[in-house]
Amino acid sequence: MEYLTFKQAQERAQIGRNTLLKWIKEGLPVIQFSSQLKRIRTSDFDAWMVSRGTVKTAGGLGSQEVSNSVTSFEGYIENKGFKNW
């Protein structure tokens, strides 16, 4: 089982510390091993990102929020209003 530090989770999602702390308050599970050692299970973090419909693009190209209803390229194109693709 793999765990993320808070900093690793922030980097993985390209978010700041305040956003991560907000997500934790909203229910993102955290494992507390001791009074000062807290980690986030990688699978929990990835599931949290999927459940929120938030996907970050790879390679530092920025971020893109993708609706859960958009499940294919065709759906994405239609969602953006390109009817005659």
Model pLDDT for residues 16-53, shown as the tens digit of each residue: 999 999 999 999 999 999 989 999 999 999 998 888 87
Say if residue 45 is exposed, middle or buried (CB neighbours under 10 Å; 0-12, 13-18, 19+): buried
Q: Which part of the chain has CATH 3.90.105? A: 1-52
Quick one: average pLDDT of 61-72? Answer: 41
Quick one: average pLDDT of 43-65? Answer: 66
Fold of 1-52: Molybdopterin biosynthesis moea protein, domain 2 (3.90.105)
Task: Say what the pTM is.
Answer: 0.62
Quick one: average pLDDT of 51-57? Answer: 68
pLDDT at 65: 41
Give yes or no for a contact between 12 and 39, defined as CB atoms under 8 angstroms apart: no
pLDDT at 44: 93
